[in-house]
Amino acid sequence: MAMNKNTVLAYATIIMIIVGVGMIALGAFKYDEVAGYGFGAVGVGFFAVAWVFNALKGRV
């Protein structure tokens, strides 16, 4: 299987979405104090970077 740029970006997008969901889940279900807001914010940041990776597919 050849790993071209679009395949790498697709895998990176999928991994970042999984990590983002995990971070938001940690913030929502494990931490009840202020740390939960931090985990949620980092999870949303992972979604933003995954969105950028997805937008770059086919352009790089």
Kindly report the three-state secondary structure assignment for every residue of 2-55.
Answer: CCCHHHHHHHHHHHHHHHHHHHHHHHHHHCCCHHHHHHHHHHHHHHHHHHHHHH
pTM to 2 decimals?
0.81
**Per-residue tens of pLDDT for the chain, all 60 residues:** 678 888 888 898 999 999 999 999 999 898 888 888 999 999 999 999 999 988 887 776
| CA-wise closest residue to 53 among 25, 20, 31 | 20
For residue 31, the model assigns a pLDDT of 86
Distance CA 12, CA 38 (A): 22
